[in-house]
Chain A
Amino acid sequence: DSGVTQTPKHLITATGQRVTLRCSPRSGDLSVYWYQQSLDQGLQFLIQYYNGEERAKGNILERFSAQQFPDLHSELNLSSLELGDSALYFCASSAQENTEAFFGQGTRLTVV
């Protein structure tokens, strides 16, 4: 158990809908990262937060947004969903930016 909790584990929704994925980092970790992993694809970096502030952005679509709250949990919002958004979404956390990251078990999103 990495100590990073992601909910829900599975999500099935229709095209055009909006969903929110939630991540609770390890206790005390200030950095949160979001990644997308499509079938047989590598981990694509979406966005990073550090202590509530956006720190780095990858190829995150404009339909996607995220935030980190004062209690350090983070949410990833995906809107106007398309079939191609079906993927595993991982959250990771780290104590500082130059230390190892601990990953949650992911949320498997299926858009039908």
Chain B
Amino acid sequence: SQKIEQNSEALNIQEGKTATLTCNYTNYSPAYLQWYRQDPGRGPVFLLLIRENEKEKRKERLKVTFDTTLKQSLFHITASQPADSATYLCALRNYGQNFVFGPGTRLSVLP
């Protein structure tokens, strides 16, 4: 069956460190993968999109990698700040199919 997993339900890190979140998928062949941020009670906000033929994408302190062989994406936040505390969701779509989200990782950046 198709499955999207994110490494841990919650991740605590110290301010200034790099947070690394993992998204693994099974039985998907995604055309692209996206990362979103969701704050409690709010709608998800788009952060980055990476296509199947791209290895890495960067935006300011954010970096995402995509390994279609390992069926895995890594999402990094460098120089993390307490304001980065939120739930981070990966999302993907097979060609012509549903746009589905992983369960999310709740990141807490401690001052």
> Residues of A with Cβ closer than 8 Å to B?
2, 4, 33, 35, 42-43, 45, 48, 56-58, 88, 90, 92, 97-106, 108
Min distance, Cβ B99 to any Cβ of chain A, angstroms: 6
CB within 8 Å of A: which residues of B?
A: 31-32, 34, 41-46, 49, 89, 91, 93, 96-104
Residues of B within 8 A of A102 (CB): 46
In the assembled complex, 9 residue pairs joining A and B whose CB atoms fall closer than 8 Å, in A order, are A35-B101, A43-B101, A56-B98, A56-B99, A90-B44, A98-B32, A100-B34, A100-B46, A103-B43
If A2-B45, A56-B98, A103-B45 touch, whether A42 touches B103 (CB-CB below 8 Å) is yes
Task: Using known A-B contacts A56-B97, A100-B49, determine if residue A2 contacts B102 with beta carbons closer than 8 Å.
Answer: no
CB distance from B71 to the nearest CB of A (A): 19
Report the number of A-B residue pairs with Cβ-Cβ less than 8 Å: 55
For the complex with contacts A45-B100, A48-B98, A104-B43, 14 further pairs of A-B residues with Cβ separation under 8 Å are A2-B43, A35-B101, A42-B102, A56-B97, A56-B98, A58-B100, A88-B41, A92-B43, A98-B31, A100-B46, A101-B34, A103-B43, A103-B44, A106-B42
